[in-house]
Amino acid sequence: SKSPSPRPNMPVRYFIMKSSNVQNIDISQQKGIWSTTPSNERKLNRAFWESSMVYLIFSVQGSGHFQGFARMASEIGCEKSQDWGCAGFGGVFKVEWIRKESIPFHFAHHLLNPWNDNKKVQ
């Protein structure tokens, strides 16, 4: 489904999306899709419908870098993808990549997450 019409009075939401490997990021960048665990789906879908924009910031676990960021472009559906070959993922949703670049965490150490005990964003 398409993104709801822009709602300027609604908040913008940001999520860090951790991937177990760089191949998943490559697939996402090539196909404009992402899939996450079922436990994340409700939270992301709610943000999609209640926010003016949802940005996903991607990082491969253990890399010490962000690999880029994208805009969530559809809600998460029931259709699953075999692209990742992992039975633990839920439905697929569309993402529109804005920036594809490896950025070391230390460039963002001034950003603190108030919903995670003011820990550094990484």
CA–CA separation, 68 and 26 (whole Å): 11
pLDDT of residue 8: 61
**Amino acid occupying residue 53:** M
pLDDT digits (tens, 9 = 90+) for 56-88: 999 998 888 889 999 999 999 888 877 776 667
Provide the whole-model pTM: 0.82
Per-range mean pLDDT, top range of 48-52, 61-65, 110-114: 48-52
More confident residue, 31 or 121: 31
Cα(25)–Cα(22) distance, integer angstroms:
5
Helix (H) or strand (E) holding 10: none
Give all domains of the chain, ordered by start, each with its CATH number.
Answer: 12-120 (3.10.590.10)
Contacts of 49 (CB under 8 A, 6+ apart): 4, 75
**CB-based contact 99:62 (threshold 8 Å):** no
